[in-house]
Structures are given as C-alpha cells and as structure tokens.
Amino acid sequence: MTSLWLANRIATAPDSGRAEDLPDHADVVVAGAGITGLMTAVLLARAGRQVLVLEARTVGACATGNTTAKISLLQATQLSKILAKQGKDLAAAYLAGNRAGQEWLLEFCAASGVPVQRESAYSFAQSKRGVAAARAEFEACRTLGLPATWEAHADTPFDYYGGVRLEEQAQFDPMTFLDALRAELGENGGQVLEHTRVQHVSSSHRTLRLRVDSPRGQAELRAAQLVPATGIPVLDRGGYFARAKPSRSYCMAFEVPGDITRPMMISTDTPTRSLRYAPSGDSRLLLVGGGGHTVGREKHPGEALAELESWTVRHYPGAVRTHLWSAQDYAPVDELPFVGPLLPGSETIYVATGFNKWGMTNGAAAALALSGRILGARPRWDQAFTSWRTGELRGLPTAMAANLAVGFHLAKGWITPAVRLDGGHHGSDNGVVSGPPWHLQAQCQVDGVEHRLSPVCPHLGGIVNWNEVDRAWECPLHGSRFAPDGSLLEGPATRGLTAGT
C-alpha cells in the first residue's frame, strides 16, 4: 500500500532523531508535514518567524503523499455544490482562494525546478444519470467567470456522455514539491522533526505548552502559536471531528502498452472514476482512482477496487497494475473548508481541514490564509476559508445525518459481537472483532504475525473495523486508524489501541 510518490524513497529511521534536536521554544509550531503544514511554515519563515514543524510519521506520509496531486480549479462538482448551498459570493471567494493557491504552487515549482505537467481537466458524465450534475458544474463555472467549455464528445476509451473542460490546469509529483518546501524552510532557519507527535497542549499567560512524543521519549516545549495541519485536528476543541466526514479513497497506477488518457478526468456520477497520467522514465503511467467509502464502514472495500481494476483493464487492454494506495480526507458539512482559529476569538491555535479531496489547491489556499492571518495580512477571499461561520447552519441537516450515523455505529459496534464473529474472515492478512461486549477483542494476522488488541478506539469509544485493503483497523465514528499492532496511523485519536489478552 505504498503510493507511486512514496515508493523508492528512503524513509527516515524512527530512532534517527536526537533529544537535543527538539528546541524548548518556537514562535510557531506546525503539527503535520504535508502541503498545508510545510507551506504555512515556509511562508511564516520567510517573514522571520521561528518555525518548528513536528511530523508524527514522515514528511508527506498521510494525505499529501497519497493524493492524485491534481492542481485544478475544476473539481468534479465542487463549485455547483457550494454555489447551491452558500451562494455566489462565497462560491466566488472559494474559487479565488483556490486560484491563489494554484498560482502560488505553480510559481514556486517554476522557481524551484519542480516538474509540472500542464493539462486540461474534465468533469464528465460516464452515464446518462451523470449529465445533470456535469451540466450544473458547467453553469456554475459560467456564473463564476471560470473559462470552462462544454464538450459533448471527448477522445476516451470509456463511456463519455458529455462534460466540462478547463484548459491549462496542472499535475505533479507532490513529494518533489514537499522536498523543495522543506529545503527552503531549512534555508530560512526553520526545522522539521519527524516521528514526533503532539500529544497534549495547554496554555498559560499567552504561551502554549506542548507535550510531544519523540523517538527519545516525552518532552515539552513552548510556543506562541500552534497550527495543527493534521487532516483532522488532534485537539478535540471545536468539535471538528463532528463537523467533517472522514472518507477513504483509493488509487492505482498502471503500465499501459498503448495510448493513455492525457487530460485529468473525474466523473460526476458513481462509481467514481478519476484519471491522470504520471511521467515514469521515458514512458507514462496511468493513475486511476475511486472506490471511496466512509472510514470504517465498508465491509469489503476490496470488492470496489477489484471492479475498478477490471474497468481499467477492460478499457485499457494489457494494463498491468504497478502500485496501489489509499488516502484519507474530510468532507465539511457545508461544503467549505475549515481554516482559521481552532476556537472563536482565539489567535493562538489554528486549524485547517475539510478539503474534500481537493487538497492541492485547498491546502495551498489554507496556508496562504493561515499565514496571512498570523502575519496580519488576511486575503480578501478568506471569508470562504473560515473555521467558524453562520453559513455552516446550512449544513445542519448534513451534520445531523452524519452524527446520527455516528451514534448508530457506536451502538452497533458494542451490541453485535456475534454478528462480527460470524462475519469475520480468519484467513491470512485479515482481522475480526469478537467476544461479548464486556470483553471484545480485535484479532488479526498479517504477514504471519498475529495481533490481539482491544478494539475500543481511544478517541470516543467506537469499536474499530478491519480494512482488508489497507490492512488497518478503522474507527467508524470519526476516522481514526490504527496499524495491525494497534499503533496510531491517523487521528483524531492521539494514542493507539491497547494490547488485548
């Protein structure tokens, strides 16, 4: 499950950090070394701030290193959804923020020598039922002044019933971009520490005190400000885990003997088909994404992936899969990202989440908005990138439905152990939760090693499920994920599963 972008990279050894590497103070601590975290750090370091980036795993290990890395203003049906729910002003501000993020990325890549491919982007209908959504996106583009065109036909080997086309969009290798950001941060006096996780934050006299876990044990440091750029905030303040829905999606890379599709394409109907190519030596790989599901709630995600691979081979004869990976993102209840103070009126801890699978431009826009706010120069368009807004009430029905589902899965996890046991797969590389409610046990066997754990997520007590594709435990409540041995992969949990008996 290693992405094309992370394959063949030398991982930093977990014990490579030294205790003296962790300073006792920084102006700004950024938790998370993906696009939002590193770009925010670079912008603040350019302004003379002392910046420290703490990464629980390695640079780019989560969303950024597992994205399809499309730098596009045409984002499936995003604009039409925002326009319908939030109105023209906020939709225009969202588009302006994404445009600013896109422009910054492309200018930085040009200056840093990061390769970028410029291609057209399509939001297309793969069946008759998808035409209305594609048409709505085209009308939204026209309303907002985005120079998109309606293309009734396209040169594709798969079904195409019409779609929106936007020229001169971009794609790249996101890890090469992160490498360049990290290099500039170091040149400006910033620091990145990997395998260092923020565990607890308290405040006293306008100073934040952070307790962190590093390869050398626990340590503390002080900071004036903190930016958790961790997908969903690792701090429960603000209830963001209940305001954004966690989603897991998958991507595969293929060697294709014949011609492959050059434009970046994504369907407006389901099952989702997302395509782009990636340079690979003297040839190109075809990247195909889809198979998305709410984290922890899909019994057999491998079935959707098998269908997606079959679809690819059918339309690209001779295609051979070379890579398979997945990523996690969060869909906000009101369609707009959450970017700004973690709590209303606070200017010490900030948040950036809810990019809804379009993190390349949204993540860059979030970095521009956060750094501008911290430095006292907020961009005009950041009204669409706020963490607290009255317009969120328009997403109340979505939020209520999502949290009712959370309650259902919380109860289901505790009261249906017999169903879990009967439905379990006990073969190689599979996991199951079984036992009575007072003694539930998670058991899996991966690569010949058996693990027994408590299945209780330490965040809010949900019972985890096994993801057969990722070979990971997933909480169906708010998307926390754990390795087969129980170690934490992604929050909002801040610690792993406990050992079973």
Dihedral angle of Cα 420, 423, 427, 431, to the nearest 10 degrees: -30
Looking at the domain assignment, is residue 372 inside a domain?
no
Distance in angstroms (rounded) separating the CA atoms of residues 433 and 494? 22
Looking at the domain assignment, is residue 77 inside a domain?
no
Task: Specify the DSSP class assigned to residue 430.
Answer: E
Q: Which of the listed residues 279, 302, 332 is the one where a domain comes to its end? A: 332
424 & 292 share domain: no
Prior bond of 271 cis (ω within 30°) = yes
Q: What's the pLDDT tens digit per position in 264-317?
A: 999 999 999 999 999 988 889 999 999 988 888 888 888 999 999 999 999 999
Domain carrying residue 153: 117-170+246-332
Tokens of 341: 């103070």
In the chain, count H helices and then E strands. Answer: 9, 24
425 & 323 share domain: no
- Give the type of residue at 191: Q
Nearest CA to 147 among 173, 108, 183, 120?
A: 120
- Does the pLDDT at position 429 exceed 90? no
| CATH at 461 | 2.102.10.10
Q: How many CA atoms lie within 13 A of 2 on its CB side?
A: 8
Distance in angstroms (rounded) separating the CA atoms of residues 4 and 68? 10
Coil/strand/helix, residue 219 = strand
**Region class of 335: left (phi > 0), else alpha (psi between -120 and 50), else beta:** left
| Main-chain phi, psi angles of 305, to 5 degrees | -70, -40
166 & 282 share domain: yes
Percent of the chain with pLDDT over 90: 65
428 & 295 share domain: no
Looking at the domain assignment, is residue 304 inside a domain?
yes
- Does the pLDDT at position 440 exceed 80? yes
Dihedral angle of Cα 185, 388, 235, 175, to the nearest 10 degrees: -30
Q: Which of the listed residues 332, 357, 390 is the one where a domain comes to its end? A: 332
Which residues of 215-319 form beta strands (DSSP E)?
Answer: 217-228, 244-255, 264-267, 274-280, 283-294
Give the CA distances from residue 3 to residues 6, 9, 141, 430, 470, in Å, rounded to whole numbers and listed in that order. 5, 11, 32, 21, 12
Looking at the domain assignment, is residue 431 inside a domain?
yes
Distance in angstroms (rounded) separating the CA atoms of residues 391 and 384? 10
Looking at the domain assignment, is residue 21 inside a domain?
no
- Does the pLDDT at position 29 exceed 60? yes
- Does the pLDDT at position 478 exceed 70? yes
162 & 270 share domain: yes
Residue corresponding to tokens 């939030």: 86
Q: What's the pLDDT tens digit per position in 81-131?
A: 999 999 999 999 999 999 999 999 999 999 999 999 999 999 999 999 999
287 & 406 share domain: no
Determine how β-strand 338-341 pairs with β-strand 350-353: antiparallel
**pLDDT value at residue 370:** 97
CB 134 within 8 A of CB 76: no
- Give the type of residue at 497: L
Q: How confident is the model at residue 424 (pLDDT cuts 50, 70, 90)?
A: very low
402 & 485 share domain: yes
Structural domains counted in the chain? 2
403 & 295 share domain: no
> Average pLDDT in the 61-74 region?
95
Looking at the domain assignment, is residue 185 inside a domain?
no
Looking at the domain assignment, is residue 460 inside a domain?
yes
Q: Which of the listed residues 300, 332, 364 is the one where a domain comes to its end? A: 332
301 & 443 share domain: no
Looking at the domain assignment, is residue 479 inside a domain?
yes
264 & 405 share domain: no
Coil/strand/helix, residue 392 = helix
258 & 130 share domain: yes
| CATH at 147 | 3.30.9.10
267 & 146 share domain: yes
Q: How confident is the model at residue 401 (pLDDT cuts 50, 70, 90)?
A: low
